[in-house]
Amino acid sequence: MIEGLSHITFITRNLDRMEEILTTVFDARKIYDSGDETFSLARERFFDIGGVWVATMEGDPLVDQTYNHVAFKMGADDYDDRLARIKKLGLTLREGRARVEGEGHSLYFYDDDNHMFELHSGTLDTRLARYAKGRT
């Protein structure tokens, strides 16, 4: 039986830069750093982001930017603050998809390794309730 999400791993060419992004944008808390003693494929660090185990591992970045992404929940009033944090780090913002009123707000951005992240203020329940109303 699947019990839920275990962890998310991102491969990055620069563990320090990825740590800066995770701690600045997501308020991540670092909980492990392998240093030069690796138990996995390469040096790695573990973080907690809102109760989610996020691992970063040293390696080659993604070649292309795509719409594949991981979305983290933010508060409805966090939009401006999180946008300022993303801009301060010089990260590439991606224009969001068209939205209908009531499904929440999103920020999409890429890290230096072409991973796309989303910060979203809505929930599955609010989105489904809004979609049930149709386009009117």
- Whole-Å CA distances, 97 to 60, 78, 105: 29, 19, 10
Q: Which member of 44, 95, 101, 103 is catalytic?
A: 44
Instruction: Quickly count: other Cβ atoms within 10 Å of residue 109's Cβ.
Output: 22
37 labelled catalytic: no
Cα–Cα distance for residue pair 91/59, rounded to 1 Å: 20
Positions marked active-site = 44
